[in-house]
């Protein structure tokens, strides 16, 4: 009996051992299969990552080539710039190693006043010559032609560009730095900036002639052909203060923003004139005694003379910004303007549209022949101007560095320091009166996307 039990026990141990061996074998096979599958998956992933990286590199290089070409082209030498540039003749389909690049072009045209706007797009498909992977990039550019409002012009400059270099390279040699999305327009022919019609609108003269007699009549003064005495005047009606008119040179024009309103302070000789208002809202305080709290200020200041200093108002112990986040001031000057400090806007909320706080415009006004109409930058090193600078004469910068969040439209540039331009389009009303006629330019270039796509999704 004991012998039978011993034999049965041994048989049980043998069966257990066999089961253990079988389980170990099955486990090993499972691990081996999993390892082989894992290596296969990793190989596929590595192949995919390498293929997509190669496709992306080619799309980036092609996008850079488009940016480079548009920055060097002379638009005035072309009949239809947008059509001729965004074409297979300029950017042909090609094969680079294992990557095939295909271009698909499209355009949309629209008209704004006397300006034609062409939005040009190119879709770039990058596919493997032998492989399933595909990526797509998209580049867009906006072409403007005709009477182009200055707020749409990133940088326009009258200058002779030496042969063999681009406008961007020329500006870099003059100490001007630009983002890649901005295509500067530098040309030998200048442009006239006639402010007569713009001032007519600012002074609410309608179709009346811009003469001293009509200006005096609009100000409620005795009608003569003589200019008003030096001073600061309001052009107003029952609902609006259309403009502040300064007759004669202004010693200082100081801006500040606090408490939710915009403050403007003007100094002429021993007199100081102050206005506080809510942008697009009520006037809270003014130097005149007449009640104008129900009026809305159109944020236009007209100076018939020179402005010796445009600055941020200083208060001891306070760090003030020049402009309210909603301010969009237009300064029209018949003479010279000197900017003597940084001019910055308050921080912008998430939903606010960034824009220059002020457009400084120097030009002929049709009433008086002023002297220089330069814009001089004397704000010191590392200054910031949230402003658009517009003059048919020169913009002159001293030895300091200045960042301009706005635009430059000038008949010349005298730069002894460094200028960094970040084009921010103004929100002022598009006025044909403040346009450069017979102009062609590239408003912007944008790389919209680079992403993986499925071949089945390609049109």
Q: What is the pLDDT of residues 272-312, one digit of tens each?
A: 999 999 998 888 888 886 767 778 888 999 999 999 999 99
User: What is the phi-psi region of residue 265: left when phi exceeds 0, alpha when psi lies from -120 to 50, beta otherwise?
Assistant: beta
The torsion angles phi and psi of 115, rounded to 5 degrees, stand at -115, 135
Nearest to 299 by CA among 263, 343, 268, 272: 263
CB 126 within 8 A of CB 101: yes
Cα dihedral 35→36→42→44 (10° resolution): -160
Measured distance CA(415)–CA(399) in Å, rounded: 8
Q: Which two tokens stand for residue 28?
A: 């090993």
* CA dist list (Å): 26 to 29, 54, 183, 189, 294: 5, 42, 68, 86, 90
CB 310 within 8 A of CB 280: no
Q: CA gyration radius for the chain?
A: 34
Ranges of beta strands (E only) in 14-114 are 94-96, 99-112
Model pLDDT, residue 196:
75
**List of the chain residues with pLDDT < 70:** 1-12, 25-26, 28, 30-44, 190, 192-194, 289, 291, 348-354, 364-371, 426-433, 456-459
Model pLDDT, residue 314:
83
Model pLDDT, residue 397:
95
Model pLDDT for residues 154-178, shown as the tens digit of each residue: 999 999 989 888 899 999 999 999 9
CB 432 within 8 A of CB 149: yes
CB 314 within 8 A of CB 267: no
CB 385 within 8 A of CB 366: no
Helices then strands, counting H and E runs in the chain, come out as: 5, 25
CB 314 within 8 A of CB 342: no
Give, for 23, the enclosing helix (H) or strand (E). Answer: helix 2-72
Model pLDDT, residue 430:
46
The torsion angles phi and psi of 51, rounded to 5 degrees, stand at -65, -45
């Amino acid at each position: 009996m004991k012998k039978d039990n011993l034999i049965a026990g041994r048989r049980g141990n043998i069966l257990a051992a066999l089961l253990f061996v079988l389980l170990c074998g099955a486990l090993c096979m499972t691990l081996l299969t999993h390892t082989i599958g894992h290596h296969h998956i990793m190989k596929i992933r590595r192949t995919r990552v390498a293929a997509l990286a190669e496709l992306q590199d080619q799309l980036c290089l092609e996008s850079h080539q488009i940016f480079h070409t548009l920055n060097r082209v002379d638009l005035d030498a072309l009949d239809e710039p947008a059509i001729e540039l965004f074409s297979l003749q300029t950017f042909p389909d090609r094969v680079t190693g294992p990557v095939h690049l295909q271009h698909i072009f499209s355009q949309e045209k629209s008209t704004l006043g006397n300006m034609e706007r062409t939005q040009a797009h190119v879709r770039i498909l990058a596919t493997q010559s032998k492989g399933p992977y595909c990526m797509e990039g998209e580049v867009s550019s906006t072409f403007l032609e005709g009477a182009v409002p200055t707020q749409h012009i990133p940088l326009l400059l009258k200058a002779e560009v030496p042969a063999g270099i681009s406008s961007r390279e020329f500006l870099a040699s003059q100490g001007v730095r630009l983002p890649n999305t901005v295509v500067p327009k530098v040309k030998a022919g200048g442009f006239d900036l006639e402010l007569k019609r713009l001032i007519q609108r600012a002074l609410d003269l309608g179709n009346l002639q811009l003469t001293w007699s009509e200006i005096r009549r609009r100000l409620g003064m005795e009608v003569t052909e003589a200019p008003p005495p030096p001073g600061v005047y309001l052009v107003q009606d029952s609902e609006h203060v259309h403009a502040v008119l300064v007759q004669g040179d202004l010693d200082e024009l100081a801006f500040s923003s606090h408490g939710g309103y915009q403050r403007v302070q003007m100094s002429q000789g021993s007199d100081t004139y102050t206005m506080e208002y809510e942008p697009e809202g009520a006037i809270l305080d003014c130097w005149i005694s007449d009640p104008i709290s129900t009026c809305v200020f159109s944020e236009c200041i007209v100076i018939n003379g020179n402005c010796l200093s445009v600055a941020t108002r200083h208060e001891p112990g306070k760090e003030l910004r020049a402009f309210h986040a909603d301010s969009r001031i237009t300064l029209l000057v018949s003479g010279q303007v000197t900017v003597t400090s940084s001019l910055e806007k308050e921080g912008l909320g998430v939903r606010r549209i960034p824009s220059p706080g002020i457009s400084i415009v120097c030009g002929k006004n049709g009433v008086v022949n002023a002297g220089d109409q330069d814009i001089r930058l004397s704000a010191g090193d590392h200054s910031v101007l949230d402003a658009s600078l517009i003059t048919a004469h020169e913009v002159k910068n001293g030895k300091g560095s200045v960042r301009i969040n706005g635009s430059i439209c000038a008949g010349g540039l005298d730069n002894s320091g460094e200028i960094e331009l970040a084009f921010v389009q103004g929100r002022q009303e598009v006025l044909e009166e403040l346009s450069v006629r017979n102009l062609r330019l590239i408003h912007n270039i944008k790389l919209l996307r680079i992403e993986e796509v499925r071949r089945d999704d390609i049109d």
